[in-house]
Structure 1
């Protein structure tokens, strides 16, 4: 009986050890393959006779990624000169006249600038807020402390509270500065903790109020 229990223990141990090796590899492969397939769809922007399957007789995985990078680079090259800026300004003025499109475009543009530009505001630091009730704490990211003109302009923070394991969704809260606890962790460490459901925790010093 003891021998059977020992055998089951070793089988379970080796299965878990193997799973810990292969699961991250498999998930990484699936995500990369999804992104490559998604970007390969941009090749449909090319005229039919110039697509890889017509020129070479078969698809070339990853070519869409290269094509996308080239398009983004050429667009950046265009908009950094006077003519390009004029064309973009003209295009944005057209979009500004379409009610629904204007709202979506403006919001996406502001978020993109916040995350991409070095001087953007994006996520400033990681904090804890007492939510959803007293005694329970949630990880949040400070996104802004600029409330100029509002009654609480000097005493509030805008924080983004992400969901887990998908931190791309969540909600915005405005909270008094005195009600948050600064966490001495990086943005990347906090994201890893959220995505892993708290399994991966950073080794840090105790938080300070």
Structure 2
């Protein structure tokens, strides 16, 4: 009986968590319907809500924003908007930091999380998977002797938090593993081993 119960859990828990996350994402994105005048919302037009309509609207807004700003006039408007935001004291530092991180992570030319590596962490006799993020810069590199690299060590099972480390390049082993496979390995706490 215990065996069947555990088998049932192994099937249902991932499904339940996936459904919960999808429901959270879709319901959050459905909040974008609040931007639509009340008389044009599904409840007023049809007498009932349509789940996922806000998600479609959000994706459409993001796509159209990208489409409109990917030309000369749109690019000019974005630059003027950023100049305005950079003049507001608190907003400028917050917006600038978020923009720099998002440009690095989402840019097709960026190198963030392009390579999975094996590093000694949290001590010399143990190893963990990390992601190469670049090389130390600024005044930091003036205080490091030898060749160093910057890595991000995600936590398990939530890889959105983690640690930023600078390690000697000789201590970092590049893995023949995709970033996706490495993330699955980390999130599964080592249960889902890469091929």
TM-score, normalisation: structure 1: 0.85
Q: Flag structure 1 segments of 5+ consecutive residues without an equivalent.
A: 1-10, 204-209
Structure 2 equivalent of residue 101 of structure 1: 91
Q: Does 1:166 align with 2:158?
A: yes
The equivalent residue for 2:116 is 126
- 1:156 maps to what in 2? 148
Corresponding residue SS for 1:175 = strand
Provide the TM-score with structure 2 as the length reference.
Answer: 0.90
1:54 aligns with 2:44: yes
Corresponding residue of 1:190: 182
Match of residue 18 from structure 1: 8
What number of residue pairs does the alignment pair up? 193
Q: CA deviation at 1:22?
A: 1.6
CA distance in 1, matches of 2:189, 2:150: 24
CA deviation after TM superposition for structure 1 residue 168, in Å: 0.6
1:90 aligns with 2:90: no
Moved over 6 A (4+): none
Q: Deviations over 1:110-153 (max 9, x none)?
A: 22222322212221211122122221222210011364884459
> Larger Rg: 1 or 2?
1
Q: Distance in 1 between matches of 2:91 and 2:128?
A: 34
Q: Could you list the runs of 5+ residues in structure 2 that have no partner in the other structure? A: none
CA spacing shift, 1:154–1:64, aligned 2, 3 Å: farther
Q: CA RMSD in A?
A: 1.9
Q: Could you say what secondary structure the match of 1:106 adopts?
A: helix
Task: Check conservation: 2:146, 2:168, Cα contact below 8 A.
Answer: no
**What SS class does the counterpart of residue 124 from structure 1 fall into?**
coil
| More displaced stretch, 71-80 vs 15-24 | 15-24
The answer to which structure, 1 or 2, has the higher relative contact order (CA under 8 A, 6+ apart) is 2
